[in-house]
Amino acid sequence: MRFDSVRKEFPVRGTGTSLVALADLTLDVAPGELVTLVGPSGCGKSTLLDLVTGLSEPTSGRILLDGRPVTGPGLDRGIVFQQYALLPWRTAQANVELGLEARRLPKAQRRRIAREHLELVGLSGFADRYPHELSGGMKQRVAIARSLAFDPEVLLMDEPFAALDAQTRETLQDELLRIWRATGKTIVFITHGIEEAVYLGQRVVVLTPRPGRVQAVLDVDLPGRGEPGQDLRAHPTFVALRHRVWDALHDARAEGGVR
């Protein structure tokens, strides 16, 4: 996936001026990579995802997927939002089948694929539950299963664990790493949590305050990441990386004042 000098402006109603949400954002994401994007509130993170999903278009610049410009929504991209976005009148199983209906698969095949993906996210016994019968963490698992079930090339996640308590969040972070290894998907994960960015990302992309552009890209090499029984967040390498990301965000803020 390639972001090529992406710029996005929004008209400000009644003023004739516009707000620049993203300016000249350039970034390459390799197939199978898990990249985290971290940046302050309002720097254009969700705007960037809207552009990747094809829900809106860049004012200038391009977004390429497999060398082809994104021109609209497609089943090659799956999204998981911060809010659960499940249909309350459908069971977990039926929510996961949703994307498969768009793929026009026969019913039996839809059932099977949905069941496999509920299993993948650790919810085998919960297929017949409705969203209100599930915890927040379980709902996000269903949302992840639904996004993966139709087999997108890229999984886009916009602060998917932000509404969860700290322990559930850590569990789901490990689950996501396991799922990523099992599926080999390309994942773009947006967060404003520094620790989350370092824990999950093979690379951490630090964005500037609005207008968002790339401030820094850090490679993360954390052996043992996602393995049970390790308090990796206390490891000196983790702490040092966390601090480097903090520094980059801090620098971006300081520089933002003079732009």
> Which H or E element spans position 63?
strand 60-65
Q: Does 46 bind Mg ion (CB under 5 A)?
A: yes
Q: Does 168 bind Mg ion (CB under 5 A)?
A: no
**Residue with tokens 């082809």, as numbered in its chain:** 68
93/191 with CB nearer Mg ion: 191
Decide if 106 contacts 176 (C-beta within 8 A): no
Contacts of 98 (CB under 8 A, 6+ apart): 87, 90, 146
SS3 242: helix
Binding span for Mg ion by CB under 5 A among 45-53, 55-63, 112-120, 243-251 = 45-53
For residue 178, report the phi and psi dihedrals to the nearest 5 degrees. Answer: -65, -45
Cross-strand partners of 217: 205
Q: Provide the mask over 170-199, with x wherever binding to ligand ATP is found by CB under 6 A and - wherever it is not.
A: ----------------------x-------
Q: Does 192 bind Mg ion (CB under 5 A)?
A: no
Binding span for ligand ATP by CB under 6 A among 26-34, 44-52, 97-105, 142-150 = 44-52
44/137 with CB nearer ligand ATP: 44
Among 41, 67, 89, 224, binds ligand ATP (CB under 6 A): 41
Q: Does 83 bind ligand ATP (CB under 6 A)?
A: no
Size of the site for ligand ATP (CB under 6 A): 13
d(CA 158, CA 79): 8
CA nearest to 213, candidates 17, 26, 11, 19: 26
Size of the site for Mg ion (CB under 5 A): 2
Contacts of 148 (CB under 8 A, 6+ apart): 78, 117, 120, 155, 179, 183, 185
SS3 64: strand
Considering only residues 46-65, where is the footprint of ligand ATP by CB under 6 A?
46-47
Binding span for ligand ATP by CB under 6 A among 39-47, 88-96, 178-186, 222-230 = 39-47
Q: Does 44 bind ligand ATP (CB under 6 A)?
A: yes
Residues at the interface with ligand ATP (CB under 6 A): 10, 19, 21, 39, 41-47, 192, 210
